[in-house]
């Protein structure tokens, strides 16, 4: 299936042509049929000579109903432009074409209707000239009569050729179904319809409703009037939602693949149309089937910032249009450059931002996003529409590998942070010589990092993290007097590793409570109890000595084997018990746990 939207001036025969092609009535309302004028969107479909199917979104042509027309055209990849031979090019022909151009529609046909009432030549020539100057370029033209049927076979053949030219839809893309109708079916509940432009839907799928917190589930699917277990793009679909009230959603809402879209009320865009400086302060943004008032802030000659009245699920590269409803004027098409732009709080920020935007083309660029954002979660980029490779090897450049968790970093910025972290730790050591290192949270704040895991990922030898602080991994990080005192302990007790200096000897060595605390935190000493310290590498030796005793062994036997005092032996054995190296038995004897 492929989907085509009609376009053209009121009363030029769009609905008549769809009716003649499909045998279906596109006008859904009794008032439309009574007045002979399309007011809202209509839908019909038919099988082409090739066996393929074309579905039509029939739009109203009157200027009062342009918002309805834009809701139908927005998600559709191709257009059937209708011009009457007896009236030729008219104001709404021009506005509809301007809308198609603004949205970047690149595929279409020209149908010159009422060819039985007037020579179609002049109308065809004028219309093709107007269309050629837009994104559609040169389009095939067919003269037809919905009344007599003349030209309909040629139009069907042209539609078949158009289908071949359309790009292949990406079925692995996330779903973003813009809702153009919502209604209730007795016994089934809420049903919404829309044009599925990418991805696929299945019965049972869980989706997000844009702007709502709760998920919604697909109870049933219809396409071309038939129930289906699955629908793949491009297709007109009707989705029956389980347990979702009718008043929860309507035209302009969207059903989304969970976790794949960024909901934003602030975007930076490039404008094609009126100069940015000439835009009024408020306009209406049309994207998909949504129409949202926006406040406009010009940044550069062709770039503006839009503040949306409500958040929308937008992606980098999305096409939309700005319209002035008061003047019935399409101000221009926009291409979304950034869906999470930085604030413009400081003087000169807008001019600087304009320079950045001047280099963007609306095509998602991972390396560029990292360069501009410096640090960002991979999931956040995906929700902005920036693909992040996950497969290792050639499909995944080095800068796409997370530095911590799912955080990605610009390589140059990450190297700068590593250098700054080393400088901050050294500065802290100079200012606080008796502290074992700089607290991780203090480093996070000093480096303006959003997550402490980033600090931990930046730590490299000879630095280490110990007890929530970052410092050197050896006594070299200790103040010189403390490091010298530790060396004297090692010199005096190296051959008697299970003997501990007495309290007065510690004082003589210059090891008071603060100095001992600093040495213990740096891993230079092992504290067993108050004023009972050993060198840090004695535990394995103690276990080896104790394992050589007859098992189980007593405290006295352990003290004698270790050549130490009860003052040391008791807390040493208790520490080995806690670490699981020894086990204390009910009679207070112990065994070495092998």
Delimit the domains of the chain by residue range. 2-165, 176-256, 262-363, 494-504+524-592
Query: Residue 462: is the preceding peptide bond cis (ω within 30°)?
Result: yes
| DSSP states along 257-322 | -TT--EEEEEEEEEEEES-GGGS-SEEEEEETTEEEEEEEEE-SSSEEEEEEEEEEEE-TT-EEEE
Give the model's pLDDT for residue 63.
59
Positive/negative CA dihedral, 401, 405, 410, 416:
negative
In the DSSP assignment, the letter for residue 20 is H
User: Could you tell me if 127 and 95 are in contact, meaning their C-beta atoms sit under 8 angstroms apart?
Assistant: no
User: Could you tell me if 7 and 110 are in contact, meaning their C-beta atoms sit under 8 angstroms apart?
Assistant: no
User: Could you tell me if 136 and 108 are in contact, meaning their C-beta atoms sit under 8 angstroms apart?
Assistant: yes
- Residue from 79, 155, 146 nearest 117 by CA: 146
**494-504+524-592: CATH architecture:** Orthogonal Bundle (1.10)
Backbone phi and psi for residue 198, each to the nearest 5 degrees, phi listed first:
-155, 155
Give the model's pLDDT for residue 37.
45
| DSSP states along 440-465 | HHHHHHHTT-S-HHHHHHH--TTEEE
Residues 263 and 328: their CA atoms lie apart, in Å, by 28
User: Could you tell me if 244 and 207 are in contact, meaning their C-beta atoms sit under 8 angstroms apart?
Assistant: no
Give the model's pLDDT for residue 519.
84
- Residue from 433, 435, 318 nearest 385 by CA: 318
Residues 380 and 385: their CA atoms lie apart, in Å, by 9
Residues 55 and 48: their CA atoms lie apart, in Å, by 10
pLDDT 10s per residue in the chain (594 long)? Answer: 889 999 988 788 888 899 899 988 765 544 444 445 455 678 889 999 999 999 998 877 555 656 777 777 878 889 999 999 999 999 889 988 988 998 899 999 999 999 999 999 999 999 999 999 999 999 999 999 988 999 999 999 999 999 999 988 889 999 999 998 888 888 788 899 899 999 999 999 999 988 776 789 999 999 988 999 999 989 999 999 988 887 788 888 999 999 899 899 999 999 987 888 889 999 999 999 899 999 999 999 999 999 999 999 999 999 999 999 888 788 889 999 999 999 998 888 999 999 999 999 999 999 999 999 999 999 999 999 998 887 655 456 766 788 888 899 999 999 999 999 999 998 988 888 767 788 999 999 999 999 989 998 998 877 878 778 887 765 456 778 888 898 889 888 888 899 999 988 998 888 988 888 888 877 788 889 888 999 887 888 899 999 999 999 999 999 999 999 999 999 999 989 888 889 899 888 999 986
Residues 216 and 26: their CA atoms lie apart, in Å, by 29
374 exposure class (CB count in 10 Å sphere: 0-12, 13-18, 19+):
middle
What are the angstrom distances between the C-alpha of 109 and each of 49, 79, 116, 118?
17, 7, 20, 20
Q: Residue 415 contacts by C-beta under 8 Å, 6 or more apart in sequence?
A: none
| CA angle, residues 496, 498, 502, in degrees to nearest 5 | 90
Q: Residue 75 contacts by C-beta under 8 Å, 6 or more apart in sequence?
A: 178, 180, 194, 195, 197, 288, 289
Structure tokens at 23: 């045998």
| DSSP states along 385-428 | T-----SSGGGS-GGGS-SBTTEEE-HHHHHHHHHHHHHHHHHH
Taking 3-state DSSP, the helix, strand and coil percentages for the chain, each rounded to the nearest 5, stand at 35, 30, 40
User: Could you tell me if 526 and 520 are in contact, meaning their C-beta atoms sit under 8 angstroms apart?
Assistant: yes
Q: Sort residue 88 into left (φ over 0), alpha (ψ -120 to 50) or beta.
A: left
61 exposure class (CB count in 10 Å sphere: 0-12, 13-18, 19+):
buried
- Residue from 1, 19, 5, 58 nearest 144 by CA: 19
Residues 254 and 339: their CA atoms lie apart, in Å, by 17
Fold classification of 176-256 is Elongation Factor Tu (Ef-tu); domain 3 (2.40.30)
How many of the other CB atoms lie within 10 Å of CB of 94? 13
385-411: string of b/e by CB count within 10 Å (b at 16+)? bbebeeeeeeeeeebbeebbeebbbbe
- Residue from 158, 114, 140, 124 nearest 17 by CA: 114
424 exposure class (CB count in 10 Å sphere: 0-12, 13-18, 19+):
middle
Q: Residue 440 contacts by C-beta under 8 Å, 6 or more apart in sequence?
A: 452, 455, 456, 465, 468, 469, 470
Instruction: Choose the CATH number for 262-363 among 2.40.30.10, 3.10.450.50, 3.40.190.10, 3.20.20.80.
Output: 2.40.30.10
What are the angstrom distances between the C-alpha of 241 and each of 41, 147, 250?
21, 40, 13
Residues 16 and 420: their CA atoms lie apart, in Å, by 71
- Residue from 52, 156, 168, 61 nearest 109 by CA: 156
CATH (residue range 2-165): 3.40.50.300
Q: Do domains 176-256 and 262-363 have the same CATH topology?
A: yes
Residues 159 and 53: their CA atoms lie apart, in Å, by 10
Residues 112 and 145: their CA atoms lie apart, in Å, by 8
Backbone phi and psi for residue 94, each to the nearest 5 degrees, phi listed first:
-70, -45
What are the angstrom distances between the C-alpha of 307 and each of 266, 285, 293, 304?
5, 10, 9, 10
Give the model's pLDDT for residue 244.
83
Q: Strands 582-584 and 590-592, how do they pair?
A: antiparallel
């Amino acid at each position: 299936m492929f989907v085509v939207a009609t376009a053209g001036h009121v009363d030029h025969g769009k609905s008549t042509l769809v009716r003649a092609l499909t045998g279906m009535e596109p006008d859904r309302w009794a008032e439309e049929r009574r007045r002979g004028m399309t007011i809202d969107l209509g839908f019909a479909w038919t099988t082409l000579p090739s066996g393929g199917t074309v579905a039509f979104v029939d739009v109203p042509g009157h200027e009062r109903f342009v918002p309805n027309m834009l809701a139908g055209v927005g998600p559709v990849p191709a257009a059937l432009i209708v011009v009457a031979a007896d009236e030729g090019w008219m104001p709404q022909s021009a506005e509809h074409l301007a809308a198609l151009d603004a949205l970047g529609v690149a595929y279409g046909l020209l149908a010159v209707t009422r060819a039985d009432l007037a020579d179609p030549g002049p109308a065809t020539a004028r219309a093709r000239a107007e269309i050629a100057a837009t994104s559609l370029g040169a389009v095939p033209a067919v003269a037809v009569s919905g009344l007599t049927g003349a030209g309909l076979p040629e139009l069907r053949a042209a539609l078949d050729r158009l289908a071949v030219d359309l790009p292949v839809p990406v079925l692995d893309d996330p779903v973003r179904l813009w809702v153009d109708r919502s209604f209730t079916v007795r016994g089934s509940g809420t049903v919404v319809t829309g044009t599925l432009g990418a991805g696929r839907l299945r019965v049972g799928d869980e989706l997000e409703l844009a702007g709502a917190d709760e998920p919604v589930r697909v109870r049933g699917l219809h396409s071309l009037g038939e129930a289906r277990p699955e629908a793949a793009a491009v297709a007109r679909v009707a989705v029956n939602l389980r347990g979702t009230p009718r008043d929860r959603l309507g035209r302009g809402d969207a059903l989304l693949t969970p976790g794949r879209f960024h909901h934003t009320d602030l975007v930076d865009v490039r404008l094609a149309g009126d100069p940015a400086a000439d835009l009024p302060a408020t306009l209406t943004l049309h994207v998909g089937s949504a129409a949202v008032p926006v406040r406009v802030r010009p940044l550069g000659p062709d770039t503006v910032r839009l503040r949306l009245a409500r958040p929308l699920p937008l992606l980098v590269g999305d096409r939309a249009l700005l319209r002035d409803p008061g003047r019935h004027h399409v101000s221009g098409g926009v291409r979304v450059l950034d869906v999470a732009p930085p604030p413009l709080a400081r003087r000169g920020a807008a001019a600087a931002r304009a320079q950045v935007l001047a280099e963007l083309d609306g095509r998602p660029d991972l390396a560029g996003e990292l360069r501009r954002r410096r640090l960002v979660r991979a999931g956040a980029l995906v929700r902005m529409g920036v693909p992040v490779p996950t497969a290792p090897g050639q499909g995944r450049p080095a800068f796409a590998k997370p530095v911590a968790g799912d955080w990605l970093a610009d390589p140059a910025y990450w190297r700068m942070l590593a250098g700054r972290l080393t400088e901050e730790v050294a500065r802290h050591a100079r200012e606080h010589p008796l502290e074992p290192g700089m607290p991780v949270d203090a480093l996070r704040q000093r480096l303006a990092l959003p997550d402490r895991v980033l600090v931990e990922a930046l730590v490299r030898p000879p630095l280490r993290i110990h007890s929530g602080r970052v410092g050197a991994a050896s006594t070299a990080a200790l103040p010189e007097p403390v490091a010298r005192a530790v060396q004297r302990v090692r010199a005096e007790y190296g051959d008697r590793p299970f003997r501990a200096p007495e309290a007065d000897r510690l004082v003589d060595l210059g090891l008071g409570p603060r100095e001992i605390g600093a040495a213990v935190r740096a891993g230079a000493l092992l504290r067993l109890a108050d004023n009972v310290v050993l060198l840090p590498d004695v535990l394995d030796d103690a276990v080896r000595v104790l394992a050589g005793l007859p098992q189980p062994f007593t405290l006295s036997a352990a003290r004698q084997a270790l050549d130490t005092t009860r003052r040391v032996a008791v807390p040493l054995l208790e520490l080995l018990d806690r670490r699981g190296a020894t086990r204390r038995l009910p009679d207070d004897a112990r065994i070495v746990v092998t």
